[in-house]
Structure 1
Amino acid sequence: MGDYPLGVSRPPLGVRDLPEPEQVFGVPRLGPWQVVKFAIGPSLIALGISIGSGEWLLGPQAVGQFGFVGVGWVILVSAVLQTFYNVECARTVMATGEAPVVAWGRVPPGVWLWVPLSVFVVIFAFIAGGWAASAGQGVYALVHGEPPPAGAEEPRLWAIALLVLVFLLTASARRISRTLELANWVMVGSILVALLIVDLLVVPWEIWWEGIRGLVTPAAPPAGITATQLGGLAGFTALVSGLNWYVMGHYRDKGYGMGYHTGFISGLRGGGGGLRDVGVTFPDDDLNRGRWRRWYRLLLLDMWGVFFVGAMLGMLLPTILMAYAVQLAGERPTAANVPTFVAAALDESYGRGAFYVALAVGVLILFSTQLGIFEGMVRVATDAAHATSPRLRRLVEGDPRRFYYPFMLTLLVVIAVVLHLALPVNLVQWSANMSNLGALIYPFLLMYLNSRLPRPARPRPWHYVLLVANVLFFGFFFVNFVADLVGDPLVTF
């Protein structure tokens, strides 16, 4: 059906009809149950990362130290802006079948700037491994019945063991994205149900009310909190602010829109191959306009109905539990003890059963984050290399798994070394503020690409306004983080 030129330095997109959702998911009719069973998915992978470092570490730490008012509204604004940004990233994926890291190569000046830079930024943001180190602390406490002593080696070994578990999970998969979805159905569901039950049983209603009120009350940040701490909270509320795009490639692997025509990365049990190096888009006609609207409604349901709601619950439930733990303990958490602070406080008042439940929830939260981040770094590098290097495609004989798994093992070794360099929560704050750097770059790339998509897929004018709001909100925190790093912060409270 011809070609569709988009941007610079990448081949034109192919042109084919959008598939019907029923065709992609293999069902005769897409009713409510089929939507839940088959169409919901990429949001769960994003939510598994989301309910993690921000929600279990940075959010509770900030609330535990400074209270809800003045902190909560940052959480709400961040979650709204990020969910909208996710939709715009997924729009590109659905309309072209290309993962975002590949699509960035179509933006001037071209592929040799944006693709390697994007891989570098994602790996640089997450290579510190704070998410893995914190999970290792939780496993240590679960095994030994007490938080680890300062500087202990064993939590790091547990963190490395969990990285190996991620490798084994992906290696055992037929389709890696589907395995991640199923794992997150179990983990995210268990996390939210367990947190809800524990909070209903032990957290006083006045703390519930304070938490909810804090989310919707605009107020000046509390005295004593730094903009770097707020920036870490903003960056890791919901997902990873400007770098959220690195997870949105799962919509391609799920088969959303034109992703159905471009393939996916399979596990070692899958068939391999089948991943196109150039995307495909659709013609602007009545048939495809109708199909696009159906896919877009599914995307909005997946993002706003699952991701946004889950992210808000995932921040509210742990933070009110932390606020109650601070009351019980009579002290505030520190960067060193925040991964096990709640469990230790519940142990004092409710016994060992509560201690182990809190620890198990914390380990699940942090492992779901570890799973998504570690696999995501490998996925971004694999997609970039496969799409932009004909030489690599020849070397791996068109099978991206031959790059994916060796790279994952290499990254595992590097993170194992980096884990020994700093406190877990300090590493997480570094990653979160580096994520805000992405907000100064990628909304502009999205504006360029999405304004050039086939007409039915283009955003409305107010969408661009909200993308600029992402730049201003998260960009402020990154600029302040850099100023704080090299001298004095621009803003103190």
Structure 2
Amino acid sequence: MSHPLGVSRPDLEVTDLPTPEEVFKVSKVGGKEIVKYAIGPSLIALGISIGSGEWLLGPLSVGQYGFVGVGWVIVVSALLQTFYNVECSRYVIATGETPVVGWGRVPPGWALWVPLSVLIVIFAFIAGGWAASAGQGVYALVHGVPPAADAVEPRWWAVGLLVLVFLITASARRISRALELANWVMVSAILLALLAVCLLVVPFSQWWEGILGFVTPAAPPAGITATQLGGLAGFTALASGLNWYVMGHYRDKGYGMGHRVGYIAGLRGERNEIRASGVTFPDNELNRGRWRRWYRLLMVDMWGVFFVGAMLGMLLPTILMAQAVTMSGQQPTRANVPTFVASALGDEYGTVVFYVALVVGVLVLFSTQLGIFEGMVRVTTDAANATSPRLRALISGDPRRFYYPFMIVLLVIISVIIFQSVPVGLVEWSANMSNLGALIYPFLLMYLNSRLPRPARPRPWHYVILVLNFLFFGFFFVNFIADFIGDPLVTF
């Protein structure tokens, strides 16, 4: 028995959904088990999210222009992106296929969408701006002062952080699980440290101004560019139209049909073959009930962890930046924003606070580069494994034989690019390129999800929100391109 879905790819095999208890190897899934076993992919996404928009672009915009006219863009972006994440994950849980493989089922077929999608992801994220920015923080930790704008040593620290990403994945038994654990530690440390610092140094009036800025609709502030605002929108909660490249972790976590398809093992793990094509479930009472359970776990992971964490991850750094601007009497620039808050706090409160802020900044940016770097390798590995029988034969069905050599190649390329531009400039480029995905993938997703087994299909209003993703983020991309080649369509 099989389920046809789309074109140019094999039909999906049909079998029953596993239960959460079967996947997580527990007798019953309650609150403790949800925290211990079910939560995870959202943490990887959150580790990426709290970095680019939250630590660099959001604070830079607020530091230069204030909260009004900027805050509402942050909230709308976070709401739309979290919903989009749920819709991408719906497909993964229902079929066990990662989105980059699923795109190959959309007409005209995999020969267009799969390589194009891999190229878009790599083109958007290969700049390495997060590693470069984290390298600035490491330099300041070592030397006690922020680096000069043209300093070379921070770039070498950035290369070292990329090597650390390789070592983390290489030492894992199951790569997704290693990323989850690393982000449990880093995200918890980041949010707790930011909360403590904000409670100590940010007055209540600044908290209130930040919260009001989030919920007050207003025109963008005069002087902010289309590129800045588009970067802020694109990277507020992840990567707008390209969020799908992270949602494949639900397969490796074993959510739904991901349990039937396989995962990418680390070098210390057992060899594990990933099926080239996905699996889905029959429409009957047994599987309808199991689907509802998996969908509830997804909602907890995305709305209860990712959305809440992303909003806190944006509020805390932005109010801290606003306070740093007040204390220092200066505004951040693209060159100094990675260490601006630490410098301002250090001048006001001393060396200890300076180093605490630097450590938080390095963790924020490293967690982002960890997820992005690994995600580029993962997407390419999944695409190649699913579409090339010759490659599967060459690697003897072991994805690691492609994954790790390709990671080394990317490491070398990113290391070269890091030396070519200001880190925040690299991040702004990546953010606006992410908005390109919003012009394409919401419609591919609507095609795929409308053809899932009936219990897994979205409701009609879900399609409306996907169109809103297209309109909101697509506008910023079109404006960015117009600004890049000449004059923006809209100026503020």
TM-score with structure 1 length normalisation? 0.99
TM-superposed deviation, 1:154: 0.7
Deviation at 1:228, TM superposition (A): 1.4
Aligned counterparts of 2:166 and 2:421: Cα–Cα separation in 1: 24
Correspondence list, 1:200-239, <5 A: 200-239=199-238
The Cα of 1:170 is off from its aligned counterpart by 0.3
| Secondary structure of the corresponding residue to residue 14 of structure 1 | strand
Q: Name the aligned partner's letter for residue 366 of structure 1.
A: L
Q: Which residue of 1 aligns with 2:379?
A: 380
Matching residue of 1:138 = 137
Residue 416 (structure 1) shift: 0.5
Give per-residue Cα distances to partners, 1:441-488, cap 9 Å, x unaligned: 000000000000000000000000000000000000000000000000
Judge conservation of contact 2:70–2:213 (CA < 8 Å) in 1: yes
**Which residue is 1:36 aligned to?**
35
Say if 2:293 is the partner of 1:290. no
CA distance in 1, matches of 2:242, 2:137: 26
- Other-structure match for 1:428: 427
State the one-letter code of the partner of 1:177: S
Q: CA RMSD in A?
A: 0.5
SS in 1 for 2:397: coil
Amino acid of the structure 2 residue aligned with 1:393: R
Counterpart of 1:191 in structure 2 is 190
After TM superposition, list the pairs within 5 Å mapping 1:162-177 onto structure 2: 162-177=161-176
Q: Aligned equivalents of 1:390 and 1:274: distance in 2?
A: 13
Matched, 1:329 2:328: yes
Residues 372-431 of structure 1: per-residue CA shift (max 9 Å, x gap) = 000000000000000000000011011000000000000000000001111000100000
Mean CA deviation greater in 475-484 or 144-153: 144-153
Match of 2:275?
A: 276
Aligned residue for 2:461?
A: 462
1:158 aligned onto 2:133: no
- Matched AA of 1:175: R
What does 1:53-68 align with in structure 2 at a 5 Å threshold? 53-68=52-67
Does structure 1 conserve the Cα–Cα contact (< 8 Å) formed by 2:273 and 2:399?
A: no
Distance 2:96 2:165 in 1: 26
Cα distance in 1 for residues equivalent to 2:242 and 2:302: 16
Give the match for residue 81 of structure 1. 80
- Comparing 137-146 with 72-81, greater Cα deviation is found at 137-146
Q: Distance in 2 between matches of 1:332 and 1:425?
A: 15
Q: What residue in structure 2 maps to residue 257 of structure 1?
A: 256
Q: Which residue of 2 aligns with 1:181?
A: 180
Q: In structure 1, what is the equivalent of residue 299 of structure 2?
A: 300
What's the offset of the Cα at 1:294? 0.3
> Counterpart of 2:484?
485
* Residue in structure 2 matched with residue 353 of structure 1 by the alignment: 352
Which one-letter code corresponds to 2:101 in the other structure?
V
Task: Report the equivalent of 1:316.
Answer: 315
Q: Specify the alignment match of 1:103 in structure 2.
A: 102
The runs of at least 4 consecutive aligned structure 1 residues that moved more than 3 Å come to none
Encode CA deviations 1:284-323: one digit per residue, 9 max, x unaligned. Answer: 0000000000000000010000000000000000000000
Per-residue CA deviations over 1:79-100 (Å, capped at 9, x if unaligned) read 0000000000000000000010
Deviation (angstroms), 1:36: 0.3
| 2:264 aligned counterpart, secondary structure | coil
Instruction: Supply the distance in 1 between the matched residues of 2:242 and 2:262 (Cα, whole angstroms).
Output: 23
Q: Secondary structure at the match of 1:52?
A: helix
Structure 1 distance, partners of 2:127, 2:160, is: 16
Cα drift, residue 132 of structure 1: 1.1
Q: CA deviation at 1:273?
A: 2.7
Give, in angstroms, the shift of residue 267 of structure 1: 0.1
SS of equivalent to 1:70: coil
Q: Name the structure 2 match of 1:340.
A: 339
Q: In 2, Cα distance between the equivalents of 1:150 and 1:368? A: 23
Q: Take 2:89 and 2:95, find their aligned partners in 1: how far apart are those partners?
A: 10
Question: 2:111 & 2:271 partners in 1: Cα distance?
Answer: 27
Q: Do the aligned partners of 2:59 and 2:318 also contact (CA within 8 Å) in 1?
A: yes
Equivalent position amino acid for 2:339 in 1: T
SS at match of 1:408: helix
Moved more, 267-276 or 108-117: 267-276
Q: Distance in 1 between matches of 2:429 and 2:223?
A: 19
- Displacement after TM superposition at 1:347 (Å): 0.9
What SS is found at the alignment partner of 2:307? helix
- Structure 2: give runs of 5+ residues left out of the alignment: none
Tell me what 2:363 maps to: 364
Paired with 1:205 and 1:312, the residues of 2 have a C-alpha distance of: 18
SS at match of 1:270: coil
Which residue in 1 is equivalent to 2:403? 404
Aligned residue for 2:420, secondary structure, equals coil
Report matched runs for 1:413-452 at 5 Å: 413-452=412-451
Q: State the 1:53 CA deviation.
A: 1.0
**Corresponding residue SS for 2:320:** helix
Aligned to 2:247: 248
CA distance in 2, matches of 1:19, 1:347: 53
Paired AA for residue 6 in structure 1: L
Separation in 2, partners of 1:270, 1:317: 38
Q: CA deviation at 1:274?
A: 2.2
In structure 1, how many angstroms separate the alpha carbons of the residues matched to 2:390 and 2:443?
30
Return the alpha-carbon distance in structure 2 between the equivalents of residues 375 and 128 of structure 1: 14
1:149 is displaced (CA, Å) by 1.2
Identity value in percent: 78
Cα deviation, residue 78, structure 1: 0.1
Supply the distance in 1 between the matched residues of 2:114 and 2:9 (Cα, whole angstroms): 11
CA contact (8 A) 2:72 2:217 kept: yes
The separation in 2 between residues aligned to 1:169 and 1:150, in whole angstroms, is 30
CA distance in 1, matches of 2:2, 2:50: 41
Q: Deviations over 1:338-388 (max 9, x none)?
A: 000000001111000010000000000000001000000000000000000
Rounded to whole Å, the distance in 1 between the matches of 2:292 and 2:29 is: 14
Taking the aligned partners of 1:128 and 1:402, their CA distance within structure 2 comes to 25
TM-score (normalizing by structure 2): 1.00
Aligned residue pairs total 492
Give the Cα–Cα distance (whole angstroms) in 2 for the partners of residues 153 and 376 of structure 1. Answer: 27
3-state secondary structure, aligned to 1:257: coil
Letter in 2 for 1:310: G
- Work out the CA distance in 1 between the residues paired with 2:488 and 2:283: 50
